Amino acid sequence: MFAIILTFIILRNYLVVRCSSYCFSSSILLKRSLFSVEFVLAGYLVLSLILLTMARADIGMIGLAVMGQNLVLNMNDHGFTISVYNRTVSKVKEFIENEAKGTNIIGTMSLEEFVQSLKRPRKAMLLVKAGQAVDDFISKLVPLLEKGDIIIDGGNSEYMDTDRRCSELAKQGILYVGTGVSGGEEGARHGPSLMPGGNPEAWPHIKPIFQAIAAKAKSGEPCCDWTGPAGSGHYVKMVHNGIEYADMQLIAEAYHLLRYLGHFQNDGIAQVFKEWNEGPLESYLIEITSHIFNYRNPDGSYLIDQILDAAGQKGTGKWTAICGLDHGVPVTLIAEAVFSRQLSSMRTLRSEACRVLNTTPDKPFCCSSPEIAKKLIDDIWKQIPWKYKRSL
């Protein structure tokens, strides 16, 4: 604001001096015409300086669901200025007045205002539902952008869609990036794993932001690097999610064997997972699973016993399995994990099958024992290296 006021004062004094010199000149008519041209140019200069002053955001975020909000707050914590926009503009006001209160986050009420608030080259990140919503926002953004500006898609888009968008936007001079974001809501807030790929000219501009907010390895290296051209970022995220599907299915089967073959109680299963997390199987998934088995409701009952055995999915595991089939890579663990999720969602059919076959899904195994359960689980964990090898 100070810069705008100072600019107006300087230009006012300049115009007054010029006007005086023209009025006392013998060629007053010609001079007045020149003065009009200079006045227009001065006005244009003022407008340009105002817009330049308004453009103070390092990056912009479109989409203020929890993931978008948490990434924005993470960027703010690392010293970046961020502009935000949401299709439902009331969400912007709510965010600015609550979670973002007292920060340098800029709320905007239109796409035009959003774009004007960004420093050049403009960096606009989308965290919206994959598919048509991404294309819709791109079509609205492009007319407001200039050559060399950057659009980043941080959603779970299919890599082939990212290939197409990257190619189409390159023809218009817009640098397109598709980036995988892993770590969920908590990771977005305190350090996600980021997998950017697309137009390589964009990387030097977004690298300082992305590597600053990313999770850090024990060595201090950021969990973020350039994956390659076109849809490579979303491809890496797809395979990453496929591996995660397999991980979670192995965990589910280990639980099932411990519970119904080994006759372990919830606290005993929690202890087994805790011990696993102290060895070669150490991971975030194993750690949080051990906590889940121990979690109790206010009435003292275990939460795990009340969780519905029907899993949803976003599609990335299925895409990985299909891609494996297309390329002749036997990602069998990932495919079986997808099938298990699909089967779990058919709860009505499973219940009917139990009724017809006169059985129950939690019926104990014959000849069961803790020793047999642990032996089988050891065999399960031996699948992990093969899972990663096939996925790579």
Cα-flanking dihedrals φ and ψ of residue 302, to 5°?
Answer: -80, 135
Which of 94, 244, 253, 336 is catalytic? The answer is 244
What pLDDT sits at residue 13?
52
* Residue 244 bears catalytic tag: yes
- Residue percentage of the chain with pLDDT more than 70: 80
What pLDDT sits at residue 353?
87
What pLDDT sits at residue 8?
47
Cα-flanking dihedrals φ and ψ of residue 287, to 5°?
Answer: -60, -50
What pLDDT sits at residue 98?
97
Residue 381: C-alpha distances to residues 155, 239, 250, 312, 335 (Å): 31, 20, 8, 24, 17
- Low pLDDT (below 70) residues in the chain: 1-54, 361-370, 373-374, 380-392
Q: Average per-residue pLDDT in the chain?
A: 86
Which of 91, 123, 237, 318 is catalytic? The answer is 237
* Residue 140 bears catalytic tag: no
- Written in H, E and C, the secondary structure of 235-267 is HHHHHHHHHHHHHHHHHHHHHHHHHHCCCCCHH
Report field, pTM of the whole predicted structure over 0.75: yes
